Structure 1
């Protein structure tokens, strides 16, 4: 046994974790991991541009620091990060991010190399098989090209191990020659509901009373396919149908113009707390008509609330969460006719929708924060003490198929 292995064999692992922003969906995981690790988290910023979420720092007890960054530049550069990550720890976890976060990701991995400590790159990146519409033309394409170079040349090569968030990133890693014993698989998860069911705000009751509610939730970007949702919904017949569109973004005015004054369609903006969960619980059918999404956490949330799911093969979560014909339907990304047929099928058989919703709740019950915590704990214990064979004990994920209803 080496001195490093001897130091870590009988103590809580000292884990350094570098992340780009204080995302509300990650903080509960870090709280649980801090109970089994001596964990320190460095965030490059509070939140990224366009993020509207609110984080209460008093709610979390794990040790973290939001680092100061250089202003007025398009990249996130934290001058103190190199000095902080050269401290004492047993293993370094680096959460994957976009091109603007390259400095933090590469600095943390390089510091682990200098310290001769193992590094784990935590990634949900995969290349979509379908064309993805973009918002900013050539500038966006140039940025994506540079991101691919960053991942291909450096971030998929330098780390010692990889924590893949779903099966899609595993495929990308295998294509680049990463061996199986260097990859662990986990999922994205959300905390258990604080209120089940929640107390519905008056706004939610007024919009959804006596209605059959279909809902989508996403940032208003072309890649989320909300324009296709609106067009498909408008083809449906039934005055008792109601489409709730949750989210915000610079594309809102264009999307509102597509409704054709259909009184059944309601934009409710960005939602948090009881307002958010009220709409989720009211939704019998939940849509994520995305062209490409690393995961799609809104599907986890909708399944918790008992919704039947309609989504695309562009969502990273489908191979883990959505079983065709059981708790939802999976269609080809961008196929608006298939989306319409899926909605027509479900809205003509509400007993099927209820069965799918019940199955969603059952399927998501064991796929929460506790599972992800266990996946990380086993991987880190294995890699710090053995450094070779990985046995996560994760269940084999169900396989979704693309269907054409």
Structure 2
């Protein structure tokens, strides 16, 4: 068989449930179509599928073993509260492009709502064309999106697919502007607070100082050390080279912790050329261990050249960290109150980034951190679920 079902099926497979008042409630049959089971999406699907009124099926184009650039420990393979379906049969279109022929048989089923997690995969495009041709409504979920200077043909392709759905789920203002730019109907956009965090993951304001003290003692940092944190892959898009060049221009007493692995040859060359001595590179680590570094830091820096969202911003602010981001990071633009909980600077501008780092290091970081924490209070997976349920039931 081309379709591999996970061993754990939804624990609530009845089509009808009884409410607290003894009333019969018909379940909504929902189909999500996703690329691969990222841990935060699996947590969202489990919480959504655990709601009595929802019968949830999620189709994944790839299984964890196909994500060879990620550690197996990164994935959450507990699919207890939804039916997880992995498509394994593929037809090559050349290069890395493939079509999953089984997807069509799933979108033909009578689901109450079908939601595509994007449009850029050939299988998504194919299934969307089929549904549109057969006058079947469907939705699209966009965790982020940044308007680009497209060629005419690229703009037409994006507009064709992004204008197709009958409903759009958007992570916020920046994403909604992206969707409407390419033809989405603004009146049909449902905004949800995109996050990788559960309510329990958000720090309490009264615990920030104690957590910082405990984490610094555990990690061996002094209480008066100024510490900046950066986390991400060591790829060009993440802008670590820009950060290193900015570090060369700021107070050398600030210690920069960069989590992502061993420094690349490019990074080493910048460090040697600029005679940088206040940077420490750390390997990727578990979420639990990483939380100590969030707690120990004074502020967070995201120098990305482009991130359609950037969940690391949510995570930093949830730990009460004032945050510096570029203007090509969806979460940075959406969540940071410039000058209040952090700064947003022009992408690739070394001087602007250095100035923001120097400025924030001399500000009241405690007050800024509390504002950052307050800003992300509603950004949890639980709130994401509530928004989707309201939309399904409306």
- Measured against the shorter chain, the TM-score band is 0.7 to 0.9
TM-score for the superposition, normalised by structure 1: 0.77
Instruction: Name the structure 1 match of 2:87.
Output: 67
Contact residue 234 and residue 240 of structure 2 kept, 8 A:
yes
> Root-mean-square deviation (CA), in Å?
3.2
Distance apart, 1:69 and its partner CA: 4.5
TM-superposition CA deviations, 1:329-384 (whole Å, max 9, x none) = 111222211111111112223xx1111111111221222112211222222223xx
- 1:151 matched to which residue of 2? 158
| Conserved 8 A contact 2:195-2:379 | yes
- Say if 2:18 is the partner of 1:18: no
Query: In the aligned structure 1, how far is the partner of 2:164 from the partner of 2:127?
Result: 11
For 1:20 and 1:148, how far apart are their aligned partners in 2? Answer: 23
Local SS of the residue matching 1:25: helix
**Mapped partners of 2:346, 2:48: distance in 1:** 36
Give the aligned partner of residue 284 of structure 2: 270
Q: Supply the distance in 2 between the matched residues of 1:55 and 1:188 (Cα, whole angstroms).
A: 19
Q: Could you tell me how far apart the structure 1 residues matched to 2:213 and 2:107 are? A: 44
Q: How many residues align?
A: 355
Match of 2:302 in 1: 288
CA distance in 2, matches of 1:159, 1:211: 51
* CA distance in structure 1 between the partners assigned to 2:368 and 2:213 by the alignment: 24
Structure 1: state its 5+ residue gaps: 1-6, 132-140, 383-405
Equivalent residue for 1:371, pick from 383, 387, 393: 383
- Report how far residue 124 of structure 1 moved: 4.0
Q: What's the secondary structure of 1:243's corresponding residue?
A: strand
Q: Report matched runs for 1:3-402 at 5 Å.
A: 10-36=25-51, 37-47=54-64, 48=67, 50-52=69-71, 54-58=74-78, 60-70=80-90, 73-96=95-118, 98=120, 101-103=121-123, 105-110=124-129, 112-113=131-132, 117-124=136-143, 126-128=145-147, 150-153=157-160, 155-192=161-198, 193=200, 197=211, 205-206=219-220, 211-239=225-253, 241-248=254-261, 252-260=264-272, 262-349=276-363, 352-382=364-394
Segment of structure 1 superposing worse, 225-234 or 272-281? 272-281
TM-score, scaled relative to structure 2: 0.79
CA contact (8 A) 2:47 2:81 kept: no
Residue by residue over 1:142-183, the C-alpha shift from the partner in whole angstroms, topping out at 9 and shown as x without a partner, is xx9987554222x21322221122222322332344323222
Q: Return 5+ residue gaps in structure 2 as ranges.
A: 1-15, 17-23, 204-210
